[in-house]
Amino acid sequence: MNFFIHLVDLPYSVGGYTRLNEDGSYTILLNSRLSIAEQRKSFIHEVTHIEGNDFDTEIQADLLERMRHETGY
């Protein structure tokens, strides 16, 4: 699994998000406004999406988010 991490200014309500790149790698964007601990938590959450193959599913994004948050990631 190849991924790139970038710190960017996002709204405080967004910890981060991940994009699937054309070459099959991922770009993880983390909120630079958050503490390092919150960024770490967001990073783990985003990696969970990658490991769960969430980009290859028909499940709606809001349902996937709810499922990931219920498991603590």
User: What order do you get walking across the sheet with 26-31 strand by strand?
Assistant: 3-8, 26-31, 16-20
Q: Where are the domains of the chain?
A: 3-70
pLDDT tens for 34-72 read 999 999 999 999 998 898 887 776 656 667 666 666 665
pTM for the full predicted model: 0.78
Q: For residue 68, count other CB atoms closer than 10 A to its CB.
A: 16
- Residue whose entry in the numeric block shows the structure tokens 């996002």: 10
- Residue whose entry in the numeric block shows the structure tokens 């938590």: 41
What is the 8-class DSSP label of residue 33? T
pLDDT tens for 23-40 read 999 999 999 999 999 999
Q: How confident is the model at residue 10 (pLDDT cuts 50, 70, 90)?
A: very high
Q: What is the pLDDT of residue 1?
A: 79
Q: What is the pLDDT of residue 65?
A: 67
